[in-house]
Amino acid sequence: MQVRWEYLTPPDFEKLAREEKLCILPIGSLERHGEHMPFGTDALVAHEIACRAAQVEPCVVFPPYWFGQVHEAACFSGTVNFPADFTLKMLEMLLDQIASNGFEKILIVNGHGGNSGMLDYYIMSHSDRKVPYTLYTTFLMDGCWTETINHIWDNPDGGHADECETSMMMATVPGTVRLEYQRFAEPILPIHQLTALENVKTGMWWYDLYPEHVSGTPSAATQEKGEITLNAAAEELVKRIRAVKHDSITPKLQKAFHERHDRLGK
């Protein structure tokens, strides 16, 4: 079944939108992942997992969306880092455009950890707007670390451009990972220069931990491990898609919230 927005013909697009009412927006960033990985990893992996899940639980999948929060990588080549207000406004405009095609629900599937805070804020502030659709967000890797994949890792410690993420990119777009460019001593560990600031956060916390935007043991990555992980993540995403499709409570709450808000000034 064709689920990719950009590949669908008008009749098939309109049928899928009308029957399922749900669009997935895979979001990532354009940022450094060490020396060995493509800049677009997060969005490409999120899109691949969304497409696999949509084959099981049909819905329309928007093309990879690159423009998330990536201020922590602004000092590196290849980064596209927009001002915060523009990033949020562009996301808002895109969501409205998606909804204008007949979708009643939009699920943002986030593949970039740096977007999490931005999306948490955005989905709360989104309540200020009365819109004809319901918005949901989910972070891809939350909850997919089951027994199915826990045993496959040589070194599970990492989190960015590590064995897991490198493996997933190998399986998502074979040939784009260049492990021969990985030049840092492994395992690549967080540096922790800001330990004196206990329970205090600064905008440099990520750059402090991972100044090269790479961690763990990327050289242990394989395409086979990536396939296992992508399938496990897609299986988990299928459950979330079904939950969103069946959710009737959030739209009712949204309606009641705005009706109550509208009465405030009367």
Q: Report if residue 252 sits inside a domain.
A: no
Question: What mean pLDDT value characterizes the chain?
Answer: 95
- 144-169 mean pLDDT: 83
Class of residue 177 by CB neighbours under 10 A (exposed 0-12, middle 13-18, buried 19+):
buried
pLDDT score of 221: 97
In a domain, 208, yes or no: yes
Domain coverage including residue 41: 5-243
What CATH code is carried by the domain that includes residue 166?
A: 3.40.50.10310
- Mean pLDDT for 96-107 is 98
Q: Does 147 score more than 80 pLDDT?
A: no
Which position has the token pair 């990033």? 87
Residues 16 and 9: their CA atoms lie apart, in Å, by 11
Quick one: pLDDT at residue 143?
64
In a domain, 105, yes or no: yes
Is 248 a domain residue?
Answer: no
Provide DSSP, 108-132.
EEE--GGGHHHHHHHHHHGGGS--S
pLDDT of residue 98: 98
pLDDT band at 146 (very low <50, low <70, confident <90, very high): low
Task: Output the pLDDT for position 155.
Answer: 80
Inside any domain, residue 230: yes
Task: Let me know if 16 is exposed, middle or buried by CB neighbors in 10 A (0-12, 13-18, 19+).
Answer: buried
Gap between the Cα atoms of 165 and 162, Å rounded = 5
Q: Angle of helix 223-246 relative to helix 163-172, nearest 10 degrees?
A: 80
The stretch 50-59 carries a mean pLDDT of: 98
Tell me the three state secondary structure of residue 137.
strand
How far apart (Å, rounded) are the C-alpha atoms in residues 31 and 53? Answer: 25
pLDDT greater than 90 at residue 159? no
pLDDT of residue 151: 83
CA 106 – CA 244 distance, rounded (Å): 9
Name the residue among 110, 108, 81 with its Cα closest to residue 94: 108
- Asked if residue 259 is part of any domain, the answer here is no
Please report the pLDDT score of residue 141 as a whole number.
76
Q: What is the mean pLDDT of residues 182-201?
A: 95
pLDDT, mean of residues 207-226? 96
Summarize pLDDT for 15-31 with one digit per residue, the tens.
999 999 999 999 999 99
Residue 263 lies in a domain: no
Residue 167: DSSP 8-state: H
pLDDT in tens, 32-42: 999 999 999 99
Cα→Cα distances 116→52, 69, 245, Å: 22, 9, 22
* Residue 197, number of CB atoms within 10 A of its CB: 12
Instruction: Report yes or no on whether pTM surpasses 0.75.
Output: yes
Residue 251 located in a structural domain: no
Beta strands in 118-175 (DSSP E): 134-139
Of the listed ranges 155-159, 220-224, 236-240, the one predicted with least confidence:
155-159
The pLDDT value recorded for residue 133 is 98
| Range 173-195 average pLDDT | 96
Distance from C-alpha of 180 to C-alpha of 21, rounded to nearest angstrom: 45
Distance, in Å, from the CA atom of 158 to the CA atom of 213, rounded to the nearest integer, reads: 11
Question: Would you state the pLDDT for residue 145?
Answer: 57
3-state secondary structure (DSSP) of residue 245: helix
- Looking at the structure of the chain, the number of domains it has is 1
DSSP state of 23: E
C-alpha 43/C-alpha 30 separation (Å) is 8
